[in-house]
Amino acid sequence: MHLYWMQLHSTAGIFAMTASLKLISHKLCPYVQRAVIALEEKGVPFERIDIDLANKPDWFLQLSPLGKVPVLVVTTERGEVALFESNVICEYIEETQAGLKLHPADALKRAGHRAWMEFGSAILGDLWGLETTTDPATFESKRQALAAKFARVDGALGAGPYFAGDEFSLVDAVFAPIFRYFDVFDELTELGIFKDIPKVRAWRAELAKRPSVRAAVGADYPQLLRAFLVRHDAHLLKLAA
**Digit-coded pLDDT (tens) for 63-97:** 999 999 999 999 999 999 999 999 999 999 999 99
Among 3.40.30.10, 3.40.50.720, 2.40.170.20, 3.40.50.970, name the CATH number for the domain at 2-96.
3.40.30.10
- The ranges assigned to domains in the chain are 2-96, 107-238
Question: What is the chain's mean pLDDT, rounded?
Answer: 93
Strand order in the sheet with 47-50: 47-50, 20-25, 71-76, 79-84
Mean pLDDT of the 160-177 span: 97
Q: Taking the domain 107-238, which CATH number applies?
A: 1.20.1050.10
Task: Give the list of residues 6+ apart from residue 149 with CB closer than 8 angstroms, or none.
Answer: 119, 122, 123, 126
Q: Decide whether 2-96 matches 107-238 in CATH topology.
A: no
pTM score, two decimals? 0.91
Is the model's pLDDT at 14 over the cut of 60?
no
| Active site (annotated) includes residue 29 | yes
Catalytic-role residue among 16, 21, 23, 29: 29
Mean pLDDT of the 3-11 span: 38
For residue 139, the model assigns a pLDDT of 98
